[in-house]
Amino acid sequence: MDLEVESDDFVGWTGRPIKCEINVLSKPEGSCIFSQGGTVVMAALYGPHEIKHGKIQTEETPAFQMSYRSKKGPPSNESRSLEELIKTACESVVFTRTFARHELTLVVQEMQNCGGILSCAINAGCLAMINSGVDMQHLVLAVTACLTNDNRIVVDPDESQLKSAKMSMEVAFDSELFNVIMVNSQGTSSVEEYQNTIGKCRESARILKEYFKSVVKKYAEALL
């Protein structure tokens, strides 16, 4: 069953080519392998399963466990903060009221990092959630962008572009109103430049949504 979808057909996507395959693993409820250019990430979602003794779920914060495995060695500060960002972005879209006293576990494995790992991981997490059939309020679509020294905005830059950029940001949008769920930016930019970059990211997120749709469509056709 060939479930691979490529982004070549999507007019307007200015970033690196996207490739993805869902339902790659048999054990977890949902899984996907997602790549943007050279950056490849694998995500798997387990659950909902019952919460083990001792943990209590509060009314609104879902019991959502997340582990991000980086390619090399023990978790560093950097990968821990990435984990926290991915976790908060992904858990905010889950419709948790429907499974009280149950928790979800999302595992994201970095396979290869050529820049933009955070947005890639969030997208992979979202696709894994779609694949598992967990109730979601909306999708989460993440885009990386950077501002080069000559004030050009590059959407989905590669590693060398990121290194030389004066500002870089990762933004995650919801798929309904395209409001900002998560934003993480670092570097120097003026307020207008900041606004323009977010605008560009939003445009790309709209295309990304179409891409996600086509993935789901192809998967549904294969199921039939």
What are the residues binding other proteins (CB under 8 A)?
A: 60, 76-78, 80-81, 84-85, 87-92, 162-169, 173-174, 177, 179-191, 194-195, 198-199, 202
DSSP track, 65-133: EEEEE-SSSS--HHHHHHHHHHHHHHHTTB-GGGSTTEEEEEEEEEEE-SS-HHHHHHHHHHHHHHHHT
For the bound state, the minimum distance from the C-beta of residue 41 to other proteins, rounded and expressed in Å, comes to 18
For the bound state, the minimum distance from the C-beta of residue 163 to other proteins, rounded and expressed in Å, comes to 6
- Between strands 63-69 and 102-112, the pairing is parallel
For the bound state, the minimum distance from the C-beta of residue 67 to other proteins, rounded and expressed in Å, comes to 15
Please give the Cα distance from 7 to 19 (Å, whole number). Answer: 6
Of 16 and 87, which CB lies nearer to other proteins in the complex structure? Answer: 87
For the bound state, the minimum distance from the C-beta of residue 136 to other proteins, rounded and expressed in Å, comes to 13
Please give the Cα distance from 93 to 137 (Å, whole number). Answer: 5
Q: How many residues does the chain have?
A: 224
Please give the Cα distance from 69 to 74 (Å, whole number). Answer: 9
For the bound state, the minimum distance from the C-beta of residue 165 to other proteins, rounded and expressed in Å, comes to 5
Cα dihedral 17, 23, 26, 30 in deg (nearest 10): 110
Per the listing, tokens 């905005």 go with 153
| 86 close to 68: Cβ distance less than 8 angstroms | yes
Of 69 and 217, which CB lies nearer to other proteins in the complex structure? Answer: 69
DSSP track, 43-55: EEEEEEEEPPTT-
Of 7 and 119, which CB lies nearer to other proteins in the complex structure? Answer: 119
For the bound state, the minimum distance from the C-beta of residue 126 to other proteins, rounded and expressed in Å, comes to 13
Of 2 and 78, which CB lies nearer to other proteins in the complex structure? Answer: 78
Of 36 and 70, which CB lies nearer to other proteins in the complex structure? Answer: 70
Of 109 and 184, which CB lies nearer to other proteins in the complex structure? Answer: 184
| 146 close to 160: Cβ distance less than 8 angstroms | no
For the bound state, the minimum distance from the C-beta of residue 20 to other proteins, rounded and expressed in Å, comes to 23
Of 32 and 122, which CB lies nearer to other proteins in the complex structure? Answer: 122
